[in-house]
Structure 1
């Protein structure tokens, strides 16, 4: 990765890390699946001014289902069940492992030794942070967060494959982010009726105040449109194994934000784990910067397998959030 791409990846990780606190703050009184439907309805409005991406509808639907609906529907529900923002950010970073494994199987992208070391350091850091937080998190909430990470990983690979085949640039990444959001609102609202019930939806709409509106704007504009557009662009220009470890910085930002705004002071183990996370990202990123003499070879159509979901979309992911 070039230095510019490394800075962009770190910026996206910061946006997504703070996103967890914003979601927790704005979702009070609003059912999680309804909140997801509202978020992506706002994102989808940009389709009136953003051209359709130069890729197949199967890719657009895939990114929308996995990177947006799957990831955030499961994540929001896990947080509504009691998973704290910092721990939610931590568990979601299992997407890095899921993405690299899926990319190796589908796109035949083989991670190098330095990449494996960097991801390994990040995983160790995640484990230390998890141990430091204790075992009071609801098991179902943690399981749903892991499922969200898996959905995000699949979305990352779909986005990477689409960018490598079509050569999508910055505008193509924005188009994919916005147009994949169109896939989300109706299924999310249908799931909300089926899972949460009409009474909860009516009560949620009544509870949707200024704090929920600000949270929606942050998640929709900064995390989805801006964040996932950058993320999808990074995936289109770089191998998945070089990009996804940068999201390991998001839990550090989430925990720092939770400490400052929610009074959730990190334990010593969380600080040590956060240092390992940053170290793992630096090991992976610096190695790719030195190797950037020639760009990665594009993935051919013959190697592409299109399942379906970013970030937030499409979002280039590996959002947020």
Structure 2
């Protein structure tokens, strides 16, 4: 069997750009919930992202290639990947979960997806993948330390873990789609179905205008929709096309340290020496696990 391409075979500029874009999502997310309530800001983000994805698909004349059954499956997976997964993570942000810790949770997702595929679908999993996941979890525990209050409290940590789990389940759900619909049209459908329930949930639980800083909310939503959703999607598709999903997945272990630097610069987040050690341990574990064989990768968000 041919070995899957590794990250070294990926085009350098798109790979660096993707890591920066992916990591920046953990900065723009907390910034957004500082200015507006989480469900409302996510509803705005996905509504705008859906419009942009449709416009881009039409401009590029992308083929739909989706029958009714495929659209239904794409939409169902999109609700899990976007509305549920991001809804949970943004609530965790609102409770005080830090950007670096959130990035660590999601960096573990490709490895957790492989383990879930082994448990649910009977796929093979290597000992190095299992060991890498264990080491990654130990690193996360070191970052957490003994004071959960600094991470937003037990509720924020638990909700962050649930976000990681739903991300992995949603990634597995991509296989349930069966067909291979166009990436842009698929994203447009998934963005479109995610916006209404989040907007309704925001309206009923957060009020009609839960905004404390209109300017920051506007900038955050535009950045989330344009950069994190659309640009991230385009970069990820380019990397998968050029290097394969396994090579693209091997980049995700770079996100936590890049996020830590961005969080320090933008959000004034700091890590203790023990947390820095935990970050290094987690990155090593995830890096080893995602470079052993092709891993499923979550969508750019």
- Higher mean alpha-carbon deviation, 251-260 vs 176-185, is at 251-260
1:42 matched to 2:22? The reply is: no
For 2:187, the equivalent position in structure 1 comes to 177
**Cα–Cα, structure 1 residues 285 and 101, in superposed 2: closer, same or farther, change >3 Å?**
closer
Per the TM alignment, residue 11 of structure 1 is displaced from its structure 2 partner at its CA by: 5.0
Contact 1:122 1:248 in 2 (8 A): no
Residue 61 (str. 1) matches residue 75 (str. 2): yes
Pairing 1:166–2:176 present: no
Distance 1:107 1:231 in 2: 26
- In structure 2, what is the equivalent of residue 303 of structure 1? none
2 CA distance for matches of 1:203 and 1:223?
A: 23
Single out whichever of 26-35 and 227-236 deviates more from structure 2: 227-236
Gaps of 5+ in 2: none
**2:158 paired residue among 143, 160, 168:** 143
1:276 is the counterpart of 2:287: no
Matches within 5 A, 1:1-321: 1-2=4-5, 3-5=8-10, 12-45=18-51, 46-50=53-57, 51=62, 53-55=64-66, 56-131=70-145, 134-136=147-149, 137-162=152-177, 165-167=178-180, 172-196=182-206, 198=207, 201-204=208-211, 207-209=213-215, 211-231=216-236, 234=240, 237-238=244-245, 246-288=251-293, 317-319=297-299, 321=301
1:148-168 deviation per Cα after TM superposition (whole angstroms, max 9, x unaligned): 112111111122454xx4356
State the alpha-carbon separation in 2 of the partners of residues 158 and 261 from structure 1.
Answer: 34
Preserved CA contact (<8 Å) 1:52 1:179: no
Q: Is the 8 A contact 1:156 1:317 kept in 2?
A: yes
Judging changes above 3 Å, is the alpha-carbon distance between structure 1 residues 75 and 279 closer, same or farther for their aligned structure 2 residues? same
Cα displacement string for residues 179-227 of structure 1 (whole angstroms, at most 9, x for unaligned residues) = 210111111111112222x3xx3242x7421x32222222222222232
Instruction: Kindly state the Cα deviation for residue 85 of structure 1 after the two structures are TM-superposed.
Output: 2.1
1 CA distance for matches of 2:227 and 2:174? 19
Contact map agreement 2:110 2:290 (CA 8 A) in 1: no
Instruction: Give the superposed CA RMSD.
Output: 3.2
TM-score (norm 2): 0.79
- 8 Å contact kept, 1:72–1:148: yes
TM-score, normalisation: structure 1 = 0.75
Stretches of structure 1 that go unaligned for 5 or more consecutive residues are: 297-315
Q: Say whether the 8 Å CA contact 2:249–2:290 is kept in structure 1.
A: no
Equivalences, count? 283
**Distance of aligned partners of 1:24 and 1:159 in 2 relative to their CA distance in 1, 3 Å threshold:** same
Helix, strand or coil at the partner of 1:183 = helix
